[in-house]
Structure formats: structure tokens, C-alpha cells
Amino acid sequence: MTRKQKRATIIAIGMCFLAVAAALTFFALGQQTSYFYMPADVIAKPVAPGQRIRLGGLVEKGSIERMDGTHVKFAVTDGEHTVKVGYEGILPDLFREEQGVVTEGTFGPDGLFVADSVLAKHDENYMPREVADGLKEKGVWQESEGGSKNGG
Amino acid sequence: MAVELGHFALVLALALSIVQATVPLVGARVKSYQLMRVGETVAIAGFLLILVSFTTLVHGYIVSDFSILNVWENSHSAKPMLFKITGTWGNHEGSMLLWVMILAFFAAMVAVFGRNLPPSLRANVIAVQGMVAVAFLLFILFTSNPFTRIIPAPIEGKDLNPLLQDIGLAIHPPLLYLGYVGFSISFSFAVAALIEGRIDAAWARWVRPWTLLAWAFLTGGIAMGSYWAYYELGWGGFWFWDPVENASFLPWLAGTALLHSAIVMEKRSALKIWTVLLAILTFSLSLMGTFLVRSGVLTSVHAFATDPARGVFILIILLLFIGGSLALFGLRASSLTSGGLFHPISREGALVLNNLILSTCTATVLIGTLYPLLIEALTGEKISVGAPFFNLTFIPLVVPLLLAVPFGPLLAWKRGDLLGAAQRLQFAFGAVLVVMIGTYFFSDKTSTAAALGLGLGFWLIFGALTDIAFKAGVGKNSLSVVFSRLKGLPLSVFGTAFAHAGIGLTVIGLVSVTTLQIERIVLMKPNDVVEAGGYTLKFSGVTPFKGPNFTEDQARFDLTGPDGRRLGEIAAAKRLYPARGMPTTEAGIRTFGLSQLYVSIGEATPNGLVVHAWWKPRVTLIWIGALVMMFGGGLSLCDRRLRVGAPTRRKTAVEAEA
């Protein structure tokens, strides 16, 4: 091979690899990203069963139900609407009534949101940012919500 | 009083940094040796001042001086002494001070150990390092001052986030920063070379040890962070592709590429422009990581406080340095001549392939990390790009690289013999086949993914062994000749082999856990039994326990091995830190060989306690692999040829043979 051909070969191989990488990235961005919804968003533009989303809001007061085994059900609310969520596993330490939560999963055919991950805050000063923004838009956010509880 | 001393030292350090950023630069321009020398003295003095400042803050934490806002917010008098000290960098202000201290430390290292660098290059490097220091000292003094007082001083502090009260967190940030910030040296060298408009193989010989040092620390820092997340968060996961984790992984990927391209530049004078660009990009990614973590655009355990002013400030620093260095690159890069030609099948070719794949991987991880921020800025929609995205893009891209790794060191410079390399690897390949067949038929779950993945890990390890064996002439020479040749091999050859084998170990750990782990979630009442991986856990009940600054409910389990032998107890706990009113989960972990049994508990319900138990086969290899990589980096650093200032022995046994 001449020098030119060698260089062309290297560049061609490199380009092929980059093309594959770009294709993979675009495909994965299309398939594997999940949009964030508040309960009101779910009512406004329904989500197809099986489509992966993240659902955030506050855990509705009195909605936590222990089912058989480690199965648990609760409702996520944004003050206007609520969505029922089912989850199997250990709930995070700071999972509580009327606290911010972000769940990720898909809607089942019966309209129950089946979560495979539940994230609460990991610090009492912190509210999941999407939830805080969403609640601010709805006007149910109180600044004092994140305040520290100890007297010092 | 001591606090004001620390504050004053920091302001003084800023003044010195301004001198450091300008005077040597002018000196190099007008060729004044005196002016150039100023940089060294100032760099060392600046480091000492920041050290004083940092020590004062640590002292404030040790004596629980709650008149310092920062100490009040993050400490508590009942906290164990170790966590009082490490709490210094468990918050935004303190960790930024540590960041700058390490930056100044590296500048001082160049001043001390760079005596035989060309004077103008040394002056320019120190000046660039000074510019970065000025920017970050301004950032600390204006937006994140750790020495702010509160009057009157509160009696008790608010305590550190309990998740951060952990030995892992004592080590993770300093290691990570030594890596992150260590790349600033490569950056400064690159910018200095662009300022001078001159670059040669000697430049690469200077840059490589610094990069290697930073890389080894970063490897350790990332591994430590991963292990911390694994045992402290109680989720049993070790890597979440969280943006904050990616922020440290990106410079690692780019730094790994830089390490390899610098070899080509040093040995063959090729890839000059690319190496300089990579050096700039690696530190830019470190800066971007600092921005992502510190600005509050991401919410995570790392984003201590969100203050828009800080985000904007770091963004300006980011744009200034990345934009400035890239503009300089655009102006000057054409003046750097490129050297040595090579055949695609050669050591250089293999290293180019490494760089191609690693930079593509860096790009995909970068896109995945920034895409949600971009979409939110453009459309206001909130999306998340999680593990599925990264698994789908990163893994297929990186596997070809891992497959190719064993070939690289076996190829000769300039023109290699692929067939010859393949023949040398036939034993490695045979051994891998045995491993794969063995895994396929004998593992508890017959999993093709496990067989292929474990095969890949062993391929890397056997490949590294093959390289050493070949270079020592195993099979061709008598045992004594082999030994004397082994002794004669440069340390960097062993460094390479260890680093590559380390990746193999990590791959084995990752694959074992993801494909073969056993997970159980059950409700348990006392005397209930759960089994995972052949081990049986019998729940014996919950007992309260009181620690220094927490109370906890310990769930105790009697452990029985696969052979029916009793193995003592495992305790998992729910802990409450009253100062913050914050509960945490403490996992119970028991190590058997390389594998671990991992138990974590949830809330108590009327029907029993929620228990999550995992059997994690060979999980520790993930981090042992990282340690082996660090060790490899350390070996290479000790190599005579790499040692800064050591006379170079051009002809070594390997090169003579190749």
C-alpha cells in the first residue's frame, strides 16, 4: 500500500467506528431516556403502558399501603392529581408521607404505575430538584419545606 | 484569631498567584532568567500559604469552633475526631480549599522537581498553573469563603451529613482531587508548549510521569468512591452512571487516552498535535466535572448547597480556560510539526486505535451526561439519561478496545506483525476458551453473557502474562536466562502488564456481579431463614445500639455456610443521626474470598422486617482491579526511563529486540 492508501485506510476505519458510535448514541438517546412527569402531566398527556418515565411528586398522606410480602403501594400527588404507584423492595430511608419522591418505571395495563426504583431525598435539606420545580410551578411549594429541623 | 490568620493567608496566596501567573510569563518573553526564577519561589510560597490556610480550617474543625459558619454547618462536638477532621472537605467551601491546595501543590512540585526543565518551559508551566490558581482563589474568596464568622457563635453545630461520616469519604476526595487537579500539570505543559510554539519528544517525556501520577490517583479516587457508594448507601450497587460519577469518569477516560498518546509522542515523535489537544481536553473535563458537581445544576450527595452565583462563576472560569486554551491551540497547533510515519499494523497503530476508541467513549459519556441539561435548557422538558443509555453505548464501544489490548504491547514500533502477535497469544486464547467453556457449564446459572464476559476479563490477564513471557523469552531460553531477562526488563513493561491485567480483574468483577449475583427481598420475623449463594441467614431479632452521635436498630442474623458450619453473625442497621434528624441504612457485609454476602434492611412492618440480601460473586475484584491498575501506574513511575531528570537509556532489552 502507498502512504496515501494507508492513511485512507486508517481514516476509513476511524470514520466507520465513529459512525457506529454516533448511530448507537442516537438510537440509545431515542430509546433509553425517560421523561419526567408530575401527576398532572400524566393526566394532560397520557403515557402509553410500557413506556419508561419518571414520576415525581409528594407521597400522599395516608396512602402508603403494605401489601403481601415486600410489595408496597402509595400515591404520588402534586396537590391536584394523584397517581397510584406499586413497588417491590426496600423504600429509601427518607421515604415519608408528604415528602418529595421520584419514582421510575412504567404504567401497567391497569393504570397502576409499577416502579422499579424509588428515590427520596438523601439529606433532609434536599428535595429532588424536578419535584421542587414542579411544585413551584403548581404553587404548592413552601420555601420552609427544606428547612432544618434541629434547633442547633 | 487563628481563623483570621487562615483567611489572611488565603488572600496573600491570591496575591502571590497573580505574581506567579504573570511575572514568569513576561520573563520567558523577554528572556530574563531572574524574572523566570520568580515563578518557582512564588509557587512554593503560595502552596505553603494555602497549606497554612487549610490547616487553620482543619484546626477549627478539630476544636469545634462554631463561630466559623462552615464548621457550624458541618460539624458537631459529639462527632468522632476522625470525622471532624475529614468533615473539613465534606462540604463545598472546604473541598474547594482542598482543590486549590492540591493545585498549588502540583505547581510547587514542578518548581522543586523541574530544575532541569528548559527554563522558559518551566516558567510558562508555572505561570499557567498560577492562572488556574488565581481563578479558583477568587472563586473561593468571593463565593465560597470557608472562614466566614457567625456572631454570636452557636453552642452546637448542625453536624455533617451522616452519609459522609465514613472512612471512605475521608480518602475519596483527596485521592480524586489529586487525580482531577493533577491533570492541570498536563494542561499547563500543553499550554506552555503552545505559548512557546515548540514541542518535542522531551516534552512528552516530561508530561508522561505527571499524567501517570494523576491517572493513578484518579483511578484510586474513582474506585474508592464506588466502594463507598456500594457499602454506605445500602443499595448494593457500585456504579450508577450518575452524572456526578461520570464527571470523574470522563477525565479518567481522556487521561487514559493521553497516557497512551504521550507514549507515541515520546518514542516516535508522532501524534504531537493530538497529544497537546488531549492534554487540554483532559483538564477541561476535570474543570467541567468541578462545574457539574459544584454548581448545583445536578442534585446529588455531592451538591452540598446550591447557589446560582457559584455556578455562574465556575462557568466563567470554565469558558475562560477551555475557550482560551482551545483558541491558543487553533492559532499555534499548525506550527507543531508532526513526525514519524508508521504502518497501521504497528505499536503506534494500536495506540491510535486505543485513542480513537477511548475518545469516542469519552464523547458518548459526555453526551449522555450533558444531554438532559441541554434539553432542559432548550425545551424545559426534564429527562433523565440513566444506566440503560450508557450500557447500550459505552459497553459495545469499549469491548473492541479490550479485545485489542493484548495485541498492542506485542506489536513492534513502525511496522508490526499481526499474525506473529496472534501466534504468541494462542496460549492465552486457549486458556480463555477453557475459562469460557468452564463458566458456561459449571456456573450456577448457565449464562452466555457470564461466559463471554469472564472470557474477556481472562483474555486481558492472560494477554498481559503473554506479553511478559514473550519479552522474557519463555520457551525459547533456559529458566536462568528467562530470569535474568525478566530482571532486565524495564519496569514500565511490568507497569503496562499490571495495568492491563487490572482492567481484566475489574471486568471479571463487573461481569460476575451483573450476571451471576443472587438477590432476595423477603419479609422476615425472628427465626425466619433466607438463603443466598449457598449461605443461610437466620434472623435473630433487632437490638438497639447507641453510637457516639447516632442511635441504631441492629438486625442480627446468624450465618450458616454451604457446608452447614456456623459462621457467626451479620448485623445490618437502620441508623438515626439526631442532630440532623436523618436516618441512614448500614449494610451488613461479610467477605468470603473474593465474594461478598450483603444484607440491608428496610422498614419494620406488622408482618415482619423487610430484608434485602445479595450474594455478590467476586465483587471485590472490581476494586482490587483498580488497585492493581494503580500499582501498575506506580511501577511505571519508578521506571528509570520515566523518572524526571534521569539520564535516558535509549536502548533497552525490549527495544533492541523489537
Confidence of residue B548 (pLDDT cuts 50, 70, 90): confident
Contacts of B389 in chain A (CB under 8 A): 28-29, 32-33
The residue segments making up the domain with residue B39 are: 1-165
Same domain for A89 and A43 = yes
> Looking at the domain assignment, is residue B176 inside a domain?
yes
Same domain for B200 and B84 = no
Say whether pLDDT at B413 is over 70.
Answer: yes
Q: Which one is predicted more confidently, B39 or B269?
A: B39
* A122 labeled binding residue: yes
Q: Which one is predicted more confidently, B14 or A142?
A: B14
Q: Which of B356, B378, B410 finishes a domain?
A: B410
Nearest 5 degrees, angle CA B589-CA B608-CA B580?
A: 60
Residues 6+ apart with CB under 8 A from B302: B244, B293
d(CA A136, CA A134): 5
Give tens-digit pLDDT for B52-63: 999 999 999 999
- Crossing angle (nearest 10°) for helices B426-442 and B448-472: 150
State the maximum Cα–Cα separation within chain A, in Å, rounded to a whole number.
78
Confidence of residue B650 (pLDDT cuts 50, 70, 90): very low
Q: Which of B112, B142, B165 finishes a domain?
A: B165
Q: What is the pTM of this model?
A: 0.90
* Number of domains, chain A: 2
Instruction: Quote the pLDDT of residue A150.
Output: 30
> Looking at the domain assignment, is residue B380 inside a domain?
yes
> Looking at the domain assignment, is residue B418 inside a domain?
no
B627 φ, ψ (degrees, to nearest 5): -65, -40
> Looking at the domain assignment, is residue A152 inside a domain?
no
Q: Which CATH number characterizes residue B129's domain?
A: 1.20.120
Give tens-digit pLDDT for A40-52: 888 888 888 888 8
Same domain for B538 and B392 = no
Convert B136-167 into a string of H (helix), E (strand) and C (coil). Answer: HHHHHHHHCCCCCECCCCCCCCCCCCHHHCCH
Confidence of residue B528 (pLDDT cuts 50, 70, 90): very high
> Looking at the domain assignment, is residue B417 inside a domain?
no
Give tens-digit pLDDT for B126-176: 999 999 999 999 999 998 899 999 888 888 888 888 878 888 878 898 999
Instruction: Quote the pLDDT of residue B345.
Output: 85
Instruction: Quote the pLDDT of residue B194.
Output: 92
Contact indicator for B591, B609 with CB cutoff of 8 Å: no
d(CA B253, CA B201): 23
Q: For all residues of chain A together, what is the average pLDDT? A: 78
Same domain for A73 and A118 = yes
Confidence of residue B654 (pLDDT cuts 50, 70, 90): very low
Say whether pLDDT at A144 is over 50.
Answer: no
Q: Which of residues 4-43 of A touch B (CB under 8 A)?
A: 6, 9-10, 13-14, 17-18, 20-21, 24-25, 27-29, 31-36
* Number of domains, chain B: 4
d(CA B487, CA B155): 63
Do the chains contact at A32 and B602, CB–CB below 8 Å?
A: no
Residue type, B518: I
B570 forms beta bridges with B557
Same domain for B502 and B595 = no
Contacts of A124 in chain B (CB under 8 A): 580-582
Q: Which of residues 177-236 of B touch A (CB under 8 A)?
A: 234
Confidence of residue A143 (pLDDT cuts 50, 70, 90): very low
Report CA B244 to chain centroid distance, whole Å: 12
Do the chains contact at A104 and B384, CB–CB below 8 Å?
A: yes
> Looking at the domain assignment, is residue B621 inside a domain?
no
d(CA B182, CA B283): 9
Across A86-100, average pLDDT: 83
Same domain for A44 and A2 = no
> Looking at the domain assignment, is residue B419 inside a domain?
no
Same domain for B435 and B314 = no
Q: For all residues of chain B together, what is the average pLDDT? A: 88
Instruction: Quote the pLDDT of residue B112.
Output: 92
> Looking at the domain assignment, is residue B420 inside a domain?
no
The residue segments making up the domain with residue A69 are: 35-143
Q: Which of B378, B410, B442 finishes a domain?
A: B410
- This complex has an ipTM of 0.80
What SS3 class is residue B391?
Answer: helix
Strands A65-66 and A71-77: antiparallel
> Looking at the domain assignment, is residue A74 inside a domain?
yes
Confidence of residue B379 (pLDDT cuts 50, 70, 90): confident
Instruction: Quote the pLDDT of residue B178.
Output: 94
Same domain for A48 and A107 = yes
> Looking at the domain assignment, is residue A151 inside a domain?
no
Highest mean pLDDT among B50-59, B337-346, B633-642: B50-59
Contact indicator for B555, B542 with CB cutoff of 8 Å: yes
Cis before residue A39, ω within 30 degrees of 0?
Answer: no
Same domain for B491 and B365 = no
Same domain for B192 and B221 = yes
Same domain for B10 and B150 = yes
Across A82-97, average pLDDT: 85
Contact indicator for B447, B467 with CB cutoff of 8 Å: no
User: Length of chain B in residues, anyone?
Assistant: 658
Nine cell digits for residue B172: 475519596
* H or E, element range at B377: helix B347-379
Same domain for B553 and B453 = no
> Looking at the domain assignment, is residue A132 inside a domain?
yes
Nine cell digits for residue B76: 458537631
Any A CB within 8 A of B563 CB: no
> Hey, CA dihedral for B300, B303, B305, B309, is it positive or negative?
negative
Same domain for B161 and B218 = no
Confidence of residue A118 (pLDDT cuts 50, 70, 90): confident
Residues 6+ apart with CB under 8 A from A77: A39, A57, A58, A59, A60, A63, A83
> Looking at the domain assignment, is residue A105 inside a domain?
yes
Same domain for A123 and A68 = yes
Of B150, B162, B148, the residue nearest B75 (C-alpha)? B162
Any B CB within 8 A of A2 CB: no
Do the chains contact at B605 and A66, CB–CB below 8 Å?
A: yes
Say whether pLDDT at A147 is over 60.
Answer: no
Same domain for B216 and B333 = yes
Residue type, B373: L
Instruction: Quote the pLDDT of residue A151.
Output: 28
Confidence of residue B655 (pLDDT cuts 50, 70, 90): very low
> Looking at the domain assignment, is residue A148 inside a domain?
no
Same domain for A72 and A25 = no
> Looking at the domain assignment, is residue B350 inside a domain?
yes
Confidence of residue B67 (pLDDT cuts 50, 70, 90): very high
Same domain for A43 and A10 = no
> Looking at the domain assignment, is residue A119 inside a domain?
yes
Same domain for A132 and A88 = yes
Contacts of A15 in chain B (CB under 8 A): none
Query: Residue A74: left if φ>0, alpha if ψ -120 to 50, beta else—which one?
Result: beta
Instruction: Quote the pLDDT of residue B5.
Output: 93
Q: Which of residues 586-615 of B touch A (CB under 8 A)?
A: 600-603, 605-607, 610, 612
Instruction: Quote the pLDDT of residue A109.
Output: 87
Instruction: Please state, as a whole number, how many other Cβ atoms lie within 10 Å of the Cβ of residue A75.
Output: 20
Instruction: Quote the pLDDT of residue A127.
Output: 60
Write the DSSP symbol of residue B62.
Answer: H
Say whether pLDDT at A128 is over 80.
Answer: no
What SS3 class is residue B385?
Answer: strand
Any A CB within 8 A of B367 CB: yes
Confidence of residue B569 (pLDDT cuts 50, 70, 90): very high
d(CA B124, CA B104): 15
Confidence of residue A146 (pLDDT cuts 50, 70, 90): very low
d(CA B627, CA B505): 10
Nine cell digits for residue A30: 431515542
Q: Which one is predicted more confidently, B235 or B518?
A: B518
Same domain for B157 and B33 = yes
Give tens-digit pLDDT for B318-328: 899 999 999 99
B144 φ, ψ (degrees, to nearest 5): -140, 50
Same domain for B171 and B154 = no
d(CA B57, CA B53): 7
Same domain for A62 and A116 = yes
> Looking at the domain assignment, is residue A87 inside a domain?
yes
Residues 6+ apart with CB under 8 A from B14: B134, B137, B138, B141
CA B255 to each of CA B73, B132, B151, B286, B571: distance values in angstroms, whole numbers, following the listed order: 36, 19, 46, 10, 40
Q: Which CATH number characterizes residue A115's domain?
A: 2.40.50.140
Same domain for A124 and A95 = yes
Instruction: Quote the pLDDT of residue B158.
Output: 84
Instruction: Quote the pLDDT of residue A138.
Output: 65
